[in-house]
Every structure is written in C-alpha cells, then in structure tokens.
Amino acid sequence: MPAKTTRLAIAAIFGAAIFGLQLAMLVPASAANEKVNVLQYALAHPTDNARLPTPPALGDSVPASVKLQRPEGSSTFAYFYFRGQPVIVDMKTRSVVRIGE
C-alpha cells in the first residue's frame, strides 16, 4: 500500500475514533444500569427554569440550591431546566454532563 493511502487510512480511523469518543462524552443518554433515558424523560417532563447567576457549562458543579429532578428508574442522572433547555447532571458529582437537546 502506498504511503499516502496508508496515511489517509490511519487518519480516517483516528478521526472516527475521536468522533466516537466525543459523541460518547456528549450523550450520556443512559448508563448500563439505567432503566430510563434521562434526556427523553426531561424533554417529556419540563420543569420551571432554575435561577443561576451564569449559564451552566459542561463540567460545571450545580449548586445545592438548584432542585434536581430524578426520573423514576434513574440512579445516576437527574436534570433541571435553564432557559427552556434541559440540563443533565451526574448525581454523584452534581456536574453538568449535557445541555439541551
């Protein structure tokens, strides 16, 4: 196989692996032990918007003053709404793992 073709094949495989990793990090739709898709549940069960001084960002810690909604069947994730969008939170760390659809 010529060197240029080999480099292109390696770049394509590497790019697909990076895309898959990014997608997995952005879409915590359900953990192995989850019985419910928290994003779908949050979209079907919107709540009042939480009041925060700044918009939440991925990885941010959610203050204890924000009431989290935990869907029945979910022990790992909860959610709240901010500016009309669901914000998915890891219950162990209270950190934001997804914002919006």
Measure the CA–CA gap between 10 and 32, rounded to whole angstroms: 31
Measure the CA–CA gap between 4 and 19, rounded to whole angstroms: 22
CA atoms within 13 A on the CB side of 47: 20
Please say if the pLDDT value at position 17 is more than 60.
no
The reported pLDDT for the residue numbered 2 is 60
Residue ranges per structural domain of the chain: 3-99
Q: Which amino acid, 65?
A: S
Question: Each residue of 48-58: pLDDT tens digit?
Answer: 999 999 999 99
The reported pLDDT for the residue numbered 18 is 43
Q: Specify the higher pLDDT residue, 9 or 59.
A: 59
Cα distances (angstroms) measured from residue 51 to each of 45, 59, 70, 82, 83: 18, 18, 18, 7, 9
Measure the CA–CA gap between 23 and 21, rounded to whole angstroms: 5
